[in-house]
Chains A and B, each alone.
Chain A
Amino acid sequence: MKLTLKIWRQASPEAKGNMVTYPLDGVDGDMSFLEMMDILNEELVNKGEEPVEFDHDCREGICGSCNMMINGQPHGPQKLTTTCQLHMRKFNDGDTITIEPWRAAAFPVIKDLIVDRSSFDRIQQAGAYVSVNTSGNTQDANSIPIEKAKADEAFHSATCIGCGACVAACKNASAMLFTSAKVSQYALLPQGEIEATDRVQNMVRQMDMEGFGNCTNTGACMIECPKGIKLENITRMNSEYLKANI
Chain B
Amino acid sequence: MKIFPAVHYTMGGLWVDYNLQTTVPGCFAAGEANFSDHGANRLGASALMQGLADGYFVLPYTIGDYLADEIRTGPISTETAEFDQAEKDTRARIEKLMNGAGTHSVDYYHKKLGLIMWNKCGMSRNETDLKSAMDEIAELRADFWKNVRVPGSADTKNQELEKAGRVADFLELGELFAKDALDRNESCGGHFREEYQTADGEALRDDVNYAYVSAWEYNENPRDAKLHKEDLVFENVELKTRSYK
- Could you tell me which residues of chain A, from 45 to 97, have a CB within 8 Å of some CB in chain B? 45-46, 48-51, 53
Chain B residues near A49 (CB, 8 Å)?
Answer: 151
Note all chain A residues with C-beta closer than 8 A to B106. Answer: 45
Binds A, one of B74-82, B155-163, B216-224: B155-163
B102 partner residues in chain A, CB cutoff 8 A: 48
A63 to chain B, nearest CB (A): 14
**Does B105 lie at the interface of the complex (its beta carbon under 8 Å from any beta carbon of A)?**
yes
B152 engages A42 (CB within 8 Å): no
**Does B120 sit at the interface, judged by CB under 8 A?**
no
Instruction: Give the chain A neighbours of B149 by CB distance below 8 A.
Output: 45, 48
> For the complex, is A225 an interface residue (Cβ under 8 Å from B)?
no
Within 8 A of B (CB), among A1-35: 11-12
Chain B residues touching A, range: 10 to 19
Knowing A50-B152, A51-B151, A134-B60, say if A45 contacts B157 (CB, 8 Å).
no
Determine whether B56 belongs to the interface, using a CB cutoff of 8 Å to chain A: yes
Q: Are B56 and A45 neighbours in the complex by a CB distance under 8 Å?
A: no
Distance of A49 Cα from B102 Cα, bound (Å): 12
> Given the known A-B contacts A42-B105, A42-B107, are A51 and B156 also in contact in the complex, defined by CB atoms under 8 Å?
no
Asked if A110 is an interface residue, CB under 8 A from chain B, the answer is yes
* B57 at the binding interface (Cβ < 8 Å): yes
Given contacts A42-B105, A48-B102, A134-B60, contact A12 B156 (CB under 8 A): yes
Is A163 among interface residues, defined by CB-CB distance under 8 A?
no
- Return the CB mask of B104-120 against A: 1 if under 8 Å, else 0: 01110000000000000
Bound Cα distance A52, B14 (Å): 33
A114 to B162, CA, bound (A): 15
Complex-state Cα separation, A45 to B106, whole angstroms:
9
Query: Which A residues touch B160, using CB under 8 A?
Result: 45, 51
**In the bound complex, do residue A111 and residue B107 qualify as a contact, i.e. CB atoms below 8 Å apart?**
no
State how many residues of chain A have any CB contact under 8 Å with chain B. Answer: 17
A48 adjacent to B151 (CB under 8 Å): yes
B151 A134 Cβ-Cβ under 8 A: no
Tell me which of B57, B151, B156 contacts A45 (CB under 8 A).
B151
Q: What is the distance, in angstroms, from B220's C-beta to the closest C-beta of chain A?
A: 29
How distant is the Cα of A150 from the Cα of B69 in the complex, in angstroms?
47
Given contacts A45-B105, A45-B149, A48-B102, contact A11 B156 (CB under 8 A): yes
| A114 interface neighbour in B56, B107, B157, Cβ under 8 Å | B157
Contacts of A136 in B (CB 8 A): 57
In the bound complex, residues from chain B placing their C-beta under 8 Å from that of A111 are 156-157
The chain A residue with its CB closest to the CB of B159 is: A53
A22 CA / B167 CA spacing, docked (Å): 27
Q: Which residues does chain A contribute within 8 Å of B151, judged by CB atoms?
A: 44-45, 48-51
Task: Please name all residues of chain B whose beta carbon is closer than 8 Å to the beta carbon of A38 when the two chains form the complex.
Answer: 107
Closest to A56 in B: B159
**Chain A to chain B: the 3 pairs with minimum beta-carbon distance, closest first:** A45-B105, A50-B152, A111-B157
Known: A51-B159, A53-B159. 19 other contacts (CB 8 A): A11-B156, A12-B156, A42-B105, A45-B105, A45-B107, A45-B149, A45-B160, A46-B105, A48-B102, A48-B151, A50-B151, A51-B160, A53-B157, A110-B157, A111-B156, A114-B157, A134-B56, A134-B57, A134-B60
Question: Could you pull out 12 A-B pairs where Cβ atoms are within 8 angstroms?
Answer: A11-B156, A12-B157, A42-B107, A45-B105, A45-B107, A46-B105, A50-B152, A51-B151, A51-B159, A110-B157, A111-B157, A134-B60
